[in-house]
Structure 1
Amino acid sequence: MYHQVLDPIAHSLAWSSLVAALPLLTLFVLLGVLRWAAWIASLIALAVSLVVAVWAYGMPVGQAVLAGSEGAAFGFFPILWIVINAIWVYNMTVATGHFDVLRRSFASVSDDQRIQAMLIAFCFGALMEALAGFGTPVAVTAVMLIALGFAPLKAAVLALTANTAPVAFGAMATPIITLGSVTGRSSDTLGAMVGRQTPVLALFVPLILVLIVDRKNGIRETWPAIVVCGASFAAAQYVTSNFISVPLADVVASLASAAAVMALVRVWRPVRVYTEAVAAPAMSGGVVPALSGDMPEAEAEQPAESSSERTDPPREIARAYAPYLIIIAVFVLAQIGPVKSWLGHATRQFAWPGLHLLNAKGGKVGSVTFTLNIATSPGTQMLVAGVLTMAVLGISIPKALRAYGATLFQLRWAILTVMAVLALAYVMNASGQTITLGTWMAAAGGLFAVLSPLLGWLGTAVTGSDTSSNSLFGALQVTAAGKAGLSQTLMAAANSSGGVLGKMVSPQNLAIAAAAVGLQGREGDIFRRVLGWSLLFLLGMCLLVWLQSTPVLSWMVA
């Protein structure tokens, strides 16, 4: 049995926090400064966290290793289980040539890549986040952007940057529901409060995407689309989360934003069409070469230039969209009350064997319980969607299995990275390192309103999940708010809203993005490109939450 201690170094939270931060500092320095491959950086940071847990916190070696093993298991299921199956569905569409049909369909809406970035990375990515979450939108939208001619590095940066405003309501509002369970507050109330924060962020995300694609010229030439995209998403997310349904916030917002932009480009076009000068294959060094022999002969021989000008028959366009419509249908069906309840019968919860933890107050630590939600996992539902996609696209079982094997090979380093990062997170949580950092920040009193989103950002940056961040710090936010005389609802919501901004710099999502675009080993380059945007958005969120804690914007607080 290990009893957590929050101030092991000289009985000082400040000194203990410095030591507790060493694994994170190691991880970010290796990624951002030395540009090491994410899997190497993650394994070294994991080793540092184990040393800190055993040496500084006095955690038994066996307990530390067991905590890491539980984290690695959680990294594979449910997180990697979702990503692997999502990429498998995508790779099957590549193997049959239907992804090229989908690409041409998107290109027919607008051949301007600034508009395409907003439609695919932001709108379509938000829909994928709403349904699956956990890295799926980053992987899927990144490869879609490459198929439209974006450079791999830029595609990864766009996909990660866009995966911000929708994250709090991702996977049918799983982060919000989790936040409600750990704080004892209504998820509807918390979702409504988050819906008064992230829509402000959504107003600026399309602008940043265009800035990444074409700098200032892009903003000047496409500002009507930027305004329509951001404003329609923000308005729909606010209205849905506050007055209709928290789980459906991203579904409605993504569809409303996409519809608004598509309606706009029917009557308005930029004065100049911007197209990336780089012609890239659909997957640089990824699955396409491994499966190219499976593609229809006519499709494989089609030159890139003429392929983009082809007119596809309506039947093939419908089949190209079918996998994503199937995904939506399967996920929506799984959320229906009776169906969800029936699927829930397969869920099993059990204490992680041999792991015995007590928190600083002597209570049990919830993270020792592992949930195996086989049927309700979005990954399993994605697998079902993949099987249905096989039938619709006429893919044989051997061909589907080859695609699955190629997917596992493609994601091999991402799999190792995600499992190592989650092992790191669980070691830090189990030993008390993460709570040490959070408790130290919570001692800031009234200034905690400024630091609250930063705490959420830190949790997501470490775990790669806004859900996990809310599990870690949700209760701490409420306690700190009570001591500082701040709104507990506001601080709890700020944890989730700040957490969405840490997702783009989390090693887990960096690894998924790098694997998707064929840049394994260059996660450090991607990290350097997105870190500035993450910190800029975080600064804005800290300012917004602080103003909401004062009379200036207190009218926004429920």
Structure 2
Amino acid sequence: MYRQILDPVAGSLAWSSLVAALPLIALFVLLGIVRMTAWLAALISLAVALVVAIFVYPMPAGPAVLAATEGAAFGFFPILWIVINAIWIYNMTVHTGHFDVLRRSFARISDDQRIQGVIIAFSFGALLEALAGFGTPVAITSVMLIALGFKPMKAAVVALVANTAPVAFGALAVPITTLATVTGLPLGDLSAMVGRQTPILGVFVPIALVFIIDGVRGIRQTWPGALVCGVVFAIAQFAVSNYVSAPLTDIVASLLSAGAMVLFLRVWRPVESYVEGGGVSGFGTAGADGGKHRAVAASTATLPRPSGGGGAGDGGAGGDTGNGGAGVGNGPAQRDSGAEVFRAYAPYLIIIAVFALAQVPAIKDALTSVTQNFNWPGLHIESSSGKPSTLSMFKFDWLNAAGTLLIIAGLITIPVIGIRPMRALRAYGATYRQLAAAIVTVMAVLALAYVMNASGQTATLGTWMAGAGGVFALISPILGWLGVAVTGSDTSSNSLFGALQLVAAQKAGLSATLLAAANSSGGVLGKMISPQNLAIAAAAVGLSGREGDLFRRVFLWSLVFVAVMCLLVFGQSTPFLSWMVVP
């Protein structure tokens, strides 16, 4: 039985925290500065974590390695199990051409890529996050954006930044239910409190996406549409999380925000259409600079791509001549029948139906009846207080797992979209080959996280930060941000730090509900810089090996958003915004 020690370096929590942070420092330096391939950076950082665990804490080599194997297993199941099966469904729709139909359907809503980016990456991505989470929205929406003419790097950045506000309620609110379990706080209170924090992000994320796509000009021209989408999402997320149901929060918010955007586009359009990468025509307004529409062919990525329709870009009367040029694709826009459009949307409707049915009490009980909970063989850990750690408990809910539900949805999808079973099977095998680098990265990062957790490195960092007293409210979201940056999962971060936030709140005389919720709300902002999500995004757009470039492009956004969340939570801990705190 290994008992964790929080201050192994000279009995100092501060010095011990500095050493405990070495694996994280190594990971981010290798990704962001050295620009090393993510899977290799993750493996090297895992080795650093093992060295620190064995020679500093000291954790016996056997348990340290076992903790790494448990983390790797958790990385594959349930996390990669979800991503692989979600992308398999996507691959089948590409093979049958139905993804082309879906892309054209989105394109007909608006020919402006700034609007398309908001609808697909934010609203549709939020729906995917609500149903599956764990990297699924990043993988699918980034490819959808490329199909609409986005450059691969920009598509990945937009997908990563969009995957923020919905994350706390992702995968049918698993992060919130996990937080309630580890803290003992009421689920309804935590759901309501998070629903008074993340909607603030929801208002501004669509505007940030427009800025990423087209800079200040994009905000100036499209802010009404972006604001409508963000405000409707925020109001719905607040209302449902506070007064209806945590699991339904993102489903309702995503659908309402997309619907509001579609309706708003019937009475409003941007003054000029922005297209980068071809596929639709753009027209400048009278007297405006028409040379805004750039047609740049997107590079071929790893995942199969549908073809895009080409078009010319023309300048507005009285302005400079537009030089949008011919886009990549097949010429005039194709009109699809109602039946084809329905089949294109069918896989996602099937996913919604399968996940909804899985929540019916009788069905849920049947699915969970075969769940196995067992202690990871040979791994026995006590916390620094002498209590048995639950870290070594592994939950194998193979039938009720989101990835398994996606398999079921995929099997139902096969006859609906008309793909031959053998072709679907080949697509499944191809999906593993496409995601090979991402699979190694995710498993290595989770192995690193489990080694840090089991040895006490994570607890050292958290305890040191919790010593800030009343000021802890200001840095409380950073703890969640750090947890998600390492594990790639708000659920895992809540498991790591939820109880610690509770203890820190009690010591500082702050609201336990506030700080526990802050862990989840701050955590969502670490997802875009998590190595596992960077690897998933890079693999999806065909940029495997350039995870470091992605990291540098999203890191500032992550810092800016987490700073805003820190100020919000600190304000909620004072009389200034205390009216927002759940009593």
TM-score by length of 2: 0.92
Q: How many angstroms apart in 2 are the aligned matches of 1:258 and 1:272? A: 21
Deviation at 1:494, TM superposition (A): 0.2
2:279 aligned partner: none
- Measure the CA separation in 1 of the matches of 2:494 and 2:436: 28
Matches within 5 A, 1:268-283: 268-276=268-276, 277=294, 279-280=296-297
Q: Does 1:548 align with 2:548?
A: no
The equivalences for 1:507-518 within 5 A come to 507-518=531-542
**1:176·1:187 contact (CA, 8 Å) conserved in 2?**
yes
Equivalent-residue separation in structure 1 for 2:10 and 2:164 (angstroms): 39
Deviates more, 1:334-343 or 1:118-127: 334-343
Matching residue's letter, 2:233: F
Write the letter of the residue equivalent to 1:6.
L
Is the partner of 1:285 in helix, strand or coil?
coil
The CA distance in 2 between the partners of 1:40 and 1:308, in whole Å, is 45
Amino acid in the other structure paired with 2:228: V
**Is this contact kept in 2: 1:147–1:280, CA < 8 A?**
no
Alpha-carbon distance in structure 2 between the residues aligned to 1:531 and 1:342: 43
Number of matched residues? 546
C-alpha distance in 2 between matches for 1:101 and 1:506: 32
Q: Which residue of 2 aligns with 1:300?
A: none
* TM-score in terms of structure 1 length: 0.96
Task: Name structure 2 gaps, 5 residues minimum.
Answer: 277-293, 308-326
Does 2:220 correspond to 1:207?
A: no
Give the C-alpha shift of residue 278 in structure 1. 5.0
Corresponding residue for residue 548 of structure 2 = 524
Contact 1:152 1:280 in 2 (8 A): no
Shift of 1:284: 2.7
**Higher relative contact order at CA 8 Å, sep ≥6: structure 1 or structure 2?**
1
Secondary structure of 1:518 counterpart: coil
Q: Is the 8 A contact 2:297 2:328 kept in 1?
A: no
Name the structure where helix makes up a greater proportion of residues.
1
1:340 aligns with 2:356: no
Residue aligned with 1:309, SS: coil
Taking the aligned partners of 2:240 and 2:332, their CA distance within structure 1 comes to 37
Within 2, Cα distance between the matches of 1:125 and 1:279?
25
* SS at structure 2 position matched to 1:367: coil
State how far apart, in whole Å, the 2-side matches of 1:397 and 1:268 are: 45
| Separation in 2, partners of 1:537, 1:138 | 18
**Equivalent of 2:304 in 288, 291, 312:** 288
CA contact (8 A) 1:20 1:434 kept: yes
Match of 1:463 in 2: 487
3-state DSSP class of the match of 1:349? strand
CA root-mean-square deviation? 1.2
Cα shift readout 1:435-473 (whole Å, capped 9, x = no counterpart): 000000000001100110000000000000000000000
Amino acid at match of 1:145: L
Note the alpha carbon deviations across 1:66-110, whole angstroms, 9 max, x for none.
000000000000000000000000000001111111100000000
Matched with 2:96 is: 96
Alignment correspondent of 1:115 = 115
1:418 aligns with 2:432: no
Residues 288-327 of structure 1 mapped to structure 2, 5 A cutoff: 288=304, 304-306=328-330, 309-327=333-351
Q: How does 1:84-163 map to 2 (within 5 A)?
A: 84-163=84-163
State the distance in 1 between where 2:331 and 2:340 align. 14
Q: Which residue of 2 aligns with 1:298?
A: none
Q: Matched residues in 1 for 2:116 and 2:561: separation?
A: 22
Deviation, structure 1 residue 348: 0.5
2:519 to 479, 495, 517: 495
Quick one: distance in 1 between partners of 2:155 and 2:572? 35
Between the aligned partners of 1:537 and 1:513, the Cα distance in structure 2 is: 20
Aligned to 2:322: none
Query: How far did 1:405 drift?
Result: 1.4
Q: Using the TM superposition, give the Cα deviation of residue 308 of structure 1 relative to its aligned residue in structure 2, in angstroms.
A: 6.0
**Do 1:150 and 1:278's aligned partners in 2 also have CA atoms closer than 8 Å?**
no
**What are structure 1's unaligned runs of at least 5 residues?**
296-302
AA aligned to 2:157 is V
Deviation per residue, 1:485-524 (Å, 9 max, x gap) = 1111100000000000000000010000001001000000
